[in-house]
Structure 1
Amino acid sequence: MPFYQIIKNFILKAYFDFDNSYISLYNFHPQLRIFIAINGIFFNNRDSKIRYIWPIFGLLLTFVGFTFELIFIYHGLTIQDYSFATESFCYTIILGVIPIVYTTVLLNKEKIIQLIEDMNGDFIYICRLGSEYKKRFLKGQLYIWILCFMWLMFLSFVAVVFIMTMVLTLMYQSLFATQDEYTIRPLIFPMWLPEDDPYRTPNYEIFLFLQIILIFICNLTFGVYVYILFHILLHYYYLMDMIMLAFGVLFDGLDESVMNLPRSDVKRIQIQRVLNNRMKQIVRWHTSVFKSVDTVSSVYGSALVYQVMFSSLAICLMAYQVAVQLDEGKVNFLFIILSIAACLQLWIPCYLGTIIRNKAFAVGDACWNSGWHETSLGRLLRQDIIIFILRAQHPVTIKFTGLPPIQLETFSSIMSTSYSYFNMLRQYK
């Protein structure tokens, strides 16, 4: 079998047993706990000290890189090399999110574990329901699985492009550059030292190793954080699909004639119990959606605030760096890719916030259109339906102090602000 076919079958889960009676979150999405463990949360030995090794290592190297970038900014402004200062400032913003992600994850360990356990409970329960529930739910989960690998491939592409650009330049200098041609061995990110040359041996090798490690740290913290965020939100997006499906069959298979019987009649009591159990499950799912979004807000709210606050500035400076290079007749391919990544990392939570908000309102519409007014059985749930519809009018949004609603409107506003900053910089160039 060709290699690409093996990869395709793996991504599409061609060999997964979708008919298995027991499917859990952990055997369908084994990558989720692995990525959470990278950020310092173990699910088996939860109090193990080993879980702190990678976060501490990442924080120490991030602090070193952050310090260097601050020095570079100061140096660039001092010698009026604004291109160098701008590039360094962009990397400073990127590195600044790493300690925030590590801190929020480690401080909210129990909340994250409980959230994942609740998701696993939903997974097992829904997969034991009828085939229609299971089929639709697993279709959504397969979509999350595919999106996971698309996101990982994009992150890997960005990292590989930065590293390979340096490698190819180094190969060119080694193979084709003449002896009298003035060449400086390239680093992935430009550097400067006050009393030394960062491009001489062994400084060059040390800084090159540090920069490669920092790229992987960024991918394994901020990149993984974005994945975990959209995985959780999409899980509850598809859980609301289950609620809408449940409303569609709320009164199915029940005998309306029991409404002509006395309230104390056994048959009427049985029908009432069945309806109450169906509505109870719907309310439980709906409550878990609000609860989970509140948990996401409290756990990742500070990281989202950082994204929203600094994305407009970062995108503006990246676009400015590209424009300056174009004015000089050069194409800064690396910063074009970095600008796309900066826009994408902001667009993902904003888009998810919008579709979850709209889906939550659609759940209220599904309750209204469940057919309660077309059957006499609707009188048994009239009060419950009224309360549910009122509850569904509250928007499901990520809320945190200092954070605007995470929606596409917010993304549009930030991009407009970035464009305004960009125009201002171009005028004062």
Structure 2
Amino acid sequence: NRAYIFNKIVIDTTSHIQVTQYNTATMFDKFKHFYNKDNLNYSTGYVDPFEFHQTFYQVLVNFKVADLKNKNPPSYVNQNMFLFINSLMATIIISIACYHGLVTADLPLITEAGTYTIVLIYKMIILNCTRKNLPQYHNFLRAMKKDFQYICSVGEKYRAQYFENQLKTWKICIVICIFNVGIGILMNIFAFLSLFYFQVTHVEDTEQNRPLLFPFWLPNVDLSKSPFYEVFFMFGNVTVVLYTYNFTCELWFIYFSTIIINSMQFSSRCYLWSSDLVLIFNFVLYDVTLSLTFSTLIGTHKGYAGLLSFFKSFILSKIITFLFLNYDY
């Protein structure tokens, strides 16, 4: 009986491992097909640009900027309102911490909280653009649709090169989005691991406080005590996730700008314009990169979250700059 039970356990365990490996391989194969667009035939016939770039188009739909028939700005009653309220609350709280740093002459707190204040204001600016710059989003989508129609009809001889560039752009932006989401996940993991490490190594009757991901501060409130700590701990983690989601709005702009610039290559009257746009974009990107890198580097004086944000901004800007400087048009 013991041998039978032991053999059954071994067989069940082996079967479970094989099923897990099969499911993992299947999931990886599905992502590989999605990444390489193996399930979409773009060699013949008309290709719908919104189907080719369906993932990013769906994100534009979520932010209410993809409806070409609706010329009115998006309604306030949608996910953008929730994101804006979250960023506004976070900005107010972190600004209070920055003010406290100014009053107490706490330079690390000033630089870290000040950096996060700027980053959160930037988030609200992005959300505001979804309302104020709605015609520009629509112009991007119309231009992309017009280019696909041209390539699939009059410009048939350019089809292979055109869709090769489109596929490269798609792949690079997928990698960038995965990297961006990964940073948000890693920051949340870091917050939970820091709390776990504190609980394991904490010694009673010491002045150590439970760690928070961001330098929150409120007057006459001890954020290390329950329930304030739990509220701000989860608020910080949720804000990171929402900011990561919102930050993709900037990636869409870069993504669609890249698509438009690639498409302009196939129109002779716009060839020189596209080269100028690439150069101008790189100069602007380089200037923004320096500013963002400098401000975030100062914020790393006290918090690891600032360090992660610095690496994210630095690596992301380098990838995008490499794309524009070394892209084989």
TM over 0.5: yes
1:74 and 2:99 correspond: yes
Highest Rg: 1 or 2?
A: 1
Query: Does structure 2 conserve the Cα–Cα contact (< 8 Å) formed by 1:97 and 1:222?
Result: no
User: Alpha-carbon deviation of 1:154?
Assistant: 1.3
1:27 and 2:51 correspond: yes
Cα distance in 2 for partners of 1:111, 1:237 equals 15
1:215 and 2:240 correspond: yes
Cα distance in 2 for partners of 1:197, 1:23 equals 59
After the TM superposition, which residues 336-375 of structure 1 pair with which residues of structure 2 at under 5 Å, given as runs? 336-344=307-315
What stretches of structure 2 of length at least 5 have no aligned partner?
1-21
Deviations 1:109-132 (A, max 9, x none): 123113202211211331345664
After the TM superposition, which residues 347-426 of structure 1 pair with which residues of structure 2 at under 5 Å, given as runs? none
Tell me which residue corresponds to 1:402.
Answer: none
Q: Structure 1 residues 222, 210: closer, same or farther in 2, change over 3 A?
A: same
Cα distance in 2 for partners of 1:314, 1:336 equals 12
Q: 1:105 aligns with which of 116, 130, 133?
A: 130
User: Alpha-carbon deviation of 1:106?
Assistant: 0.9
User: Alpha-carbon deviation of 1:140?
Assistant: 0.9
Cα distance in 2 for partners of 1:236, 1:69 equals 38
Q: Structure 1 residues 28, 321: closer, same or farther in 2, change over 3 A?
A: same
User: Alpha-carbon deviation of 1:288?
Assistant: 9.4
After the TM superposition, which residues 328-339 of structure 1 pair with which residues of structure 2 at under 5 Å, given as runs? 333-339=304-310
Q: Structure 1 residues 308, 102: closer, same or farther in 2, change over 3 A?
A: farther
CA RMSD of aligned residues (A): 3.6
- Aligned partner of 1:142: which letter? L
The residue matched to 1:242 in structure 2 has which SS? coil
Tell me which residue corresponds to 1:62.
Answer: 87
The residue matched to 2:78 in structure 1 has which SS? helix
Q: 2:226 aligns with which of 176, 201, 219?
A: 201
Percent of residue pairs identical: 19
The more displaced of 4-13 and 336-345 is: 336-345
Cα distance in 2 for partners of 1:44, 1:241 equals 25
Cα distance in 2 for partners of 1:240, 1:12 equals 24
Tell me which residue corresponds to 1:274.
Answer: none
Cα distance in 1 for partners of 2:128, 2:266 equals 34
Q: 2:173 aligns with which of 124, 148, 160?
A: 148
Question: TM (normalized to structure 2)?
Answer: 0.77
Q: Structure 1 residues 309, 224: closer, same or farther in 2, change over 3 A?
A: same
- Aligned partner of 2:41: which letter? D
Q: Which one has more relative contact order, counting CA pairs under 8 Å at least 6 apart?
A: 2
- Aligned partner of 1:340: which letter? F
Cα distance in 2 for partners of 1:33, 1:317 equals 32
Q: Structure 1 residues 188, 90: closer, same or farther in 2, change over 3 A?
A: same
Deviations 1:172-225 (A, max 9, x none): 334554555654322221211111112222222222232223223322333322
Q: Structure 1 residues 16, 42: closer, same or farther in 2, change over 3 A?
A: closer
What stretches of structure 1 of length at least 5 have no aligned partner?
244-281, 326-331, 360-429
Cα distance in 1 for partners of 2:73, 2:259 equals 28
Q: 2:266 aligns with which of 242, 256, 266?
A: 242
Cα distance in 1 for partners of 2:193, 2:149 equals 49
Query: Does structure 2 conserve the Cα–Cα contact (< 8 Å) formed by 1:169 and 1:186?
Result: yes
Query: Does structure 2 conserve the Cα–Cα contact (< 8 Å) formed by 1:21 and 1:127?
Result: yes
Q: Structure 1 residues 174, 45: closer, same or farther in 2, change over 3 A?
A: farther
Query: Does structure 2 conserve the Cα–Cα contact (< 8 Å) formed by 1:66 and 1:95?
Result: yes
Tell me which residue corresponds to 1:319.
Answer: 297
Tell me which residue corresponds to 1:269.
Answer: none
Deviations 1:260-302 (A, max 9, x none): xxxxxxxxxxxxxxxxxxxxxx44x659969xx7xxx9xxx9x
User: Alpha-carbon deviation of 1:30?
Assistant: 0.7
Cα distance in 1 for partners of 2:178, 2:194 equals 24
Query: Does structure 1 conserve the Cα–Cα contact (< 8 Å) formed by 2:86 and 2:239?
Result: yes
Cα distance in 1 for partners of 2:73, 2:264 equals 36
1:134 and 2:159 correspond: yes
Q: State how many pairs are aligned.
A: 302
Tell me which residue corresponds to 2:33.
Answer: 9
Tell me which residue corresponds to 1:420.
Answer: none
Query: Does structure 2 conserve the Cα–Cα contact (< 8 Å) formed by 1:33 and 1:43?
Result: no
Tell me which residue corresponds to 1:37.
Answer: 61
Question: TM (normalized to structure 1)?
Answer: 0.60
User: Alpha-carbon deviation of 1:167?
Assistant: 0.6
Query: Does structure 2 conserve the Cα–Cα contact (< 8 Å) formed by 1:72 and 1:88?
Result: yes
User: Alpha-carbon deviation of 1:142?
Assistant: 0.9
Cα distance in 1 for partners of 2:289, 2:77 equals 29
The residue matched to 1:35 in structure 2 has which SS? helix
Query: Does structure 2 conserve the Cα–Cα contact (< 8 Å) formed by 1:128 and 1:134?
Result: no
Q: Structure 1 residues 190, 198: closer, same or farther in 2, change over 3 A?
A: same
Query: Does structure 2 conserve the Cα–Cα contact (< 8 Å) formed by 1:233 and 1:352?
Result: no
